[in-house]
Structure 1
Amino acid sequence: MSEDDGFPRQRLRDLLSAQAFGATVRVLGLLPYRPRVALSGRFFAEVVAPLAGWRKRIRANLAIALPDLPAAEVERLVRAVPDNVGRTLAEIFSGPDFVARCRDLPLTGPGAALLEQRNAEGKGVVLVSGHFGNYDVFRGGLVGRGYRMGALYRPMDNRAFNTRYIAAIERIAKPLFPRNRRGMAQMMRFLQDGGMIGLAIDQYLSSGADLTFFGRKARTALSAADIALRYDVPLIPIFATRQPDGFSFVIEVEDPIPPATPEAMCQEFNDRLEARVRAHPGQWFWIHRRWKNL
């Protein structure tokens, strides 16, 4: 079948990969929660990662960011990173089982009191995070506490998978705002009305600013800082760190980033995220092309 037949090959590949993922989710869904999450992690580490070229990309990214890392640690991370990705996806697609485990997690860290105060007063906050640990844990945890929490997301290129993914993350918490003009306008109204919004800014953005991450240039979105400055609300980093058991998390709310230029504020976020990744390197998504400009 060719593109001349009116059914582009890429669309066919996307449809087949989405169907394969859907079948995997259904099979895993037959298992209890903990075996489901553990098996998904192992499947992504041993099957998906080599087929998708993730191992090569992880090694390349580690060579850029941590060139002096011992070879044994590189090989450990080549498996630990996709294991965390697989666990994260299984958790996100577990719906109520996952939300129940997020709902009662305590808010820790020096910024927790401010976040709780802003919620009690019905005032907005921009929460900024990255693809670290499980980035949907804090969203589920805050909504479970009654916080008005919305999030910006980038629609995926694979439309068939995107439909499944959006349905899954909507079961964790709503509202969600697509990264387009309409979605941004809706998110701004939500923030002005006292809602809290969450953004992840640790992926390469061609139109972003040339900031640094692990000492190398990494184009970074300035949107989180721009919004916080425009609407005079705190910019607060928040992370959910996976614990050694592989299933539980700690939600940590950091001190707000002091107002400055958007570049300075987002550079501070990059520095804070880097510190977390250095402490828990297996929990960041090294599968992303973070340094495309190098």
Structure 2
Amino acid sequence: MTRTAPSRPITLQMRLEAAFVRVLLALFRRIGPVRASNLGGWLCRTVGPRLPVSRVADANLRRSMPELDGSMRRAVIYDMWDNIGRNAGEFPHLATLPRNSGPGPGWDVVGEEHLVAQAARGGPTIFVSGHIGNWEMLPPAVARYGLPFSSFYRAPNNPLVDRVLCDLRDEAMGQPVPLFAKGARGARGALGHILRGGHLGMLVDQKMNDGVEARFFGQPAMTAGAMAAMALKLRCPVIPGYVERLGPARLRIHVLPPLDLPDGGNRIQDQMNLTQRVNDWLEGTIRQHPGSWLWLHRRWNVQLPNNMPKI
């Protein structure tokens, strides 16, 4: 990935943060993928539920899945933190996790025929997913089929940490790929990328204030509209996929067939219909395993109170 020099001065705190991240990732790499996954899961599920941000997750669950009682919500939040920690522990191993269908560490693919067909067909592709399971495994797995995709990306505030994480992502992909900043400038860069026949991956489950108001878990949710706009402009395939966690460092990539693109003659309505279709698919996938999704984002068009109750 092409990087520019950081525009902000490097502080001592940034250096200390980056040193901590490097030491932690080195430890994860040294102890192997399974133990790293277990250690990361233990650390996060021990600390995470006690952090104030978990109240955001609880409020999101209250609003989107009111059928869950308090103990059920706590179980989902516990599983969410466990998954976050396992993702961190597995991160330095993504480049070396083998493709296999056995019980040990590695990954396999359900629906690989859709990747094979798209690689043979050629041309631009948009992959859509969400922060489900170990979402970091999706790009390197798809790249193994000759479909390396670029992504939208929000860099960490610490540029030294950003460099460490980007190097690991490039290592997992086996090649550098361009990343696009969120916002209008990044959208223009992404459009140019797929106009040149490139592939683009988009995690479309976060709130986008300048997006379109679609429904998500039955409620208004500002959702990125760039995916639908680009797909309909180019009439290029939109392929949904997500990563299911089967165990420590044991992952399954699910790839669905390309979505049918609406063609009703009204561009704005077609974009909304495609956006809603993706939201509906994401919701159904999350409902199957709520603890595999990242509930920490302020996803819906509501202002959460500052004095949210403890969970």
Q: Same fold by TM-score, threshold 0.5 exceeded?
A: yes
Across the two proteins, how many residue pairs are aligned to each other? 282
Q: Provide the residue aligned with 1:290 in structure 2.
A: 299
Q: Provide the residue aligned with 1:257 in structure 2.
A: 259
Q: Distance in 2 between matches of 1:64 and 1:163?
A: 37
Tell me, yes or no, if the aligned pair for 1:81 and 1:282 is still in contact at 8 Å.
Answer: yes
Alignment of 1:208 onto 2:220: no
Q: Provide the residue aligned with 2:87 in structure 1.
A: 88
Q: Distance in 2 between matches of 1:184 and 1:102?
A: 36
Alignment of 1:240 onto 2:243: yes
Once the two structures are TM-superposed, the CA of residue 83 in structure 1 deviates from its matched residue by 0.9
Give CA-to-partner distance per residue, 1:147-194, whole Å, 9 cap, x none.
Answer: 343322222334343222222222222413222566544433432333
Q: Provide the residue aligned with 2:20 in structure 1.
A: 20
Residue identity in the other structure for 1:209: V
Q: Provide the residue aligned with 2:308 in structure 1.
A: none
TM-align CA RMSD: 2.7
Tell me, yes or no, if the aligned pair for 1:44 and 1:86 is still in contact at 8 Å.
Answer: yes
Once the two structures are TM-superposed, the CA of residue 102 in structure 1 deviates from its matched residue by 8.2
1:133-148 to 2 correspondences below 5 Å: 133-148=133-148
Once the two structures are TM-superposed, the CA of residue 198 in structure 1 deviates from its matched residue by 0.6
TM-score relative to the length of structure 1: 0.85
55-64 or 161-170: bigger deviation = 161-170
Once the two structures are TM-superposed, the CA of residue 137 in structure 1 deviates from its matched residue by 1.8
1:130–1:102 CA distance, 2 compared to 1 (3 A): farther
1:222 to 225, 228, 238: 225
Tell me the secondary structure at the aligned position of residue 93 of structure 2: coil
Residue identity in the other structure for 1:79: Y
Q: Provide the residue aligned with 1:161 in structure 2.
A: 161
Gaps of 5+ in 1: 1-6
Q: Distance in 1 between matches of 2:53 and 2:171?
A: 28
Q: Distance in 2 between matches of 1:14 and 1:56?
A: 28
Q: Distance in 1 between matches of 2:143 and 2:258?
A: 20
Tell me, yes or no, if the aligned pair for 2:90 and 2:249 is still in contact at 8 Å.
Answer: no
Tell me, yes or no, if the aligned pair for 1:170 and 1:176 is still in contact at 8 Å.
Answer: no
225-234 or 11-20: bigger deviation = 11-20
Bigger fraction of residues in helix: 1
Q: Distance in 1 between matches of 2:200 and 2:127?
A: 6
TM-score relative to the length of structure 2: 0.80
Paired-residue identity, %: 26
Give CA-to-partner distance per residue, 1:39-63, whole Å, 9 cap, x none.
Answer: 1111111124534x23222211111
1:187-198 to 2 correspondences below 5 Å: 187-198=190-201
Gaps of 5+ in 2: 1-7, 263-269, 304-311
Residue identity in the other structure for 1:171: E
Tell me the secondary structure at the aligned position of residue 284 of structure 2: helix
Tell me, yes or no, if the aligned pair for 1:211 and 1:219 is still in contact at 8 Å.
Answer: yes
Q: Provide the residue aligned with 2:37 in structure 1.
A: 37
Q: Provide the residue aligned with 1:4 in structure 2.
A: none
